[in-house]
Amino acid sequence: MKKDNVIFFDTTLRDGEQSPGASMNLSEKLLIAKQLAALGVDVIEAGFPISSIGDFEAVKSISQQIKTVSIAGLCRATEKDIKTCWSAVKYSKKPRIHIFLATSDLHMEKKLKKTRAQVLDMAVKAVKHGKSLCKDVEFSAEDAGRSDMGFLCKIVEAVIDVGANTVNIPDTVGYTTPVEFGGKIAEIKKKVPNINGTIISVHCHNDLGLAVANSLSAIENGARQVECTINGIGERAGNAALEELAMALNVRSHYYNIKHSIKTNELCSTSKLVSKLTGIPIQANKAVVGANAFSHESGIHQDGILKARETYEIMNPSDVGIPESSLVLGKHSGRHAFFKRVKDLGYKLNSKILEQLFEKFKILADKKKTVFNDDIIALLEESSSSDKEIFILKYLSTTAGTATIPTATVKILKNKNDKEQKCEIFQEAACGSGPVDAAYKAIDKIVNMDIKLVDFSLKSVSSGEDALGEVILKIQYDGKIYLGKGTSTDIIEASAKAYIQAINKSVEF
């Protein structure tokens, strides 16, 4: 029996970015888009162009730079939205306009305040307009999981008649169960007479923890596109996780008999990149890419694994890009060992960046007895940002104690936008409730911005007393939230670096 193909439609940069606090700037979105292309996704939904100037520019830039993958933009069923979307995606070699419109009675009555007839007319006109601009148009029936099946089939038939290449059936609020959702797809295939003229897509949310299960059920019943995100991030409880869908189809290939284009050995590095840039950590027991996904503590399990890996592992770690190297790195390690470890971790870097990274590694190795994989990944991700830094931390000194008022002195270099003007160096000191608070107050004096710290977390990147600490924080400035990350063996320095990175992002935006 010949295998069917399922299309992987990745919406990490659109629905995934809608996770609270997960907003990314242009350079970060481009980094993820390039990695998604390397991962082998078929379609990248790069954003919602009309939602903001930044989103428009991101979709446009990704369309211009990523040429091996179809680039989609999301839009509502209005002429202005569709024109704006086309203006952003038209630079792609394979552009797609993705139009959505609610079809459940609840949404039509309460949100749209329109009748079924009005919504049907809007859908047909929107798809016609989209097709006049772009060959590839997808129509999404928002809240299809709670829509009346008769009306859903009617609107699906109508948009296919006017040229919809793909019809998406979203479980927008994660309401359905696998048998129920699969049955809806089967019913659409049975009752829509022109359904063979399009591709059925599904977009499942994870409010009840069933997004992946519902997507797989839909595939069993004829869906041939799955909309998903890296690490399952997205609105509320998130979306179907791409890595879980891809590996389920691989591990149970004889059951599903489905082919796909995902290069699974890129899953781990893609997962870590998205986690770092969004500030959303990967839970330890996360399927496929979590820290414990291939860890075994039980003596019985360890004995079984040593005798035959298959006793307790249904996947090979290398299949998802998780390294098994036991090479220990420290201050006596040379370039060859370090470069090999970077390669084993799944990163492809040019010689100049590798040399710069090696110098940072040597500095870190002088502070630590052992440099672990997570330490190296932290260095890699910290070096990956191509943002222009307006403020750069040059010096930090703090004092604190049980009988001492915590104080901090900081020296910051400020870059000028005008290349002909020289950079300025500012120095300030401040007291605070603790050394971190004092450092932040000193920085505030220099940047002179009305900044509010809204979230702060500190964790150890690796193990040991000399572990690299990572600070992830969020600040509020001018009504918007910005993420900052900093790493150092000194947690006060890591805190200051994270704070300044967030400030730089607020200035850039």
Cα 15-16-18 angle, rounded to 5 deg:
65
Number of DSSP helices (H) and strands (E) in the chain, helices first: 17, 16
Q: What's the Cα-to-Cα distance from 422 to each of 52, 416, 425, rounded to whole Å?
A: 33, 7, 10
- Rounded to a whole number of angstroms, the distance between the first and last alpha carbons of the chain is 53
Q: Bridge-partner residues for 488, per DSSP? A: 469
**Check whether domain 391-508 has CATH 3.30.1360.170, yes or no:** no
Residues 95 and 70 sit within 8 Å (Cβ to Cβ): yes
Residues 481 and 385 sit within 8 Å (Cβ to Cβ): no
Q: How far is CA 396 from the centre of its chain?
A: 33
CA pseudo-torsion sign 114, 117, 120, 122: negative
What are the DSSP calls for 83-137, one per residue?
Answer: HHHHHHHTTSSSEEEEEEEE-SHHHIIIII---HHHHHHHHHHHHHHHHHH-S-E
Q: Bridge-partner residues for 465, per DSSP? A: none
Residues 388 and 415 sit within 8 Å (Cβ to Cβ): yes
| Residue 175: closest CA among 149, 212, 205 | 205
Identify the pLDDT of residue 327: 42
Cα 351-356-360 angle, rounded to 5 deg:
140
Please state, in angstroms and rounded to a whole number, the distance separating the CA atoms of residues 177 and 53: 38
Identify the pLDDT of residue 360: 79
| Residue 108: closest CA among 77, 135, 130, 72 | 77
Residues 503 and 475 sit within 8 Å (Cβ to Cβ): yes
Alpha helices in 162-232 (DSSP H): 178-191, 211-220
Residues 369 and 356 sit within 8 Å (Cβ to Cβ): no
Q: Which residues of the chain have a pLDDT value below 70?
A: 1-3, 294-306, 309, 323-337, 368-370, 381-388, 417-422, 462-466, 508-509
| Residue 219: closest CA among 169, 258, 180 | 258
Q: Domain residue spans in the chain? A: 4-278, 293-322, 323-384, 391-508
The DSSP 8-state label assigned to residue 468 in this structure reads: P
Global pTM value: 0.75
Residues 226 and 243 sit within 8 Å (Cβ to Cβ): no
Residue 369 has which token pair?
Answer: 């007895």
Please state, in angstroms and rounded to a whole number, the distance separating the CA atoms of residues 437 and 202: 47
**Check whether domain 4-278 has CATH 3.10.180.10, yes or no:** no
Identify the pLDDT of residue 326: 36
Residues 14 and 45 sit within 8 Å (Cβ to Cβ): yes
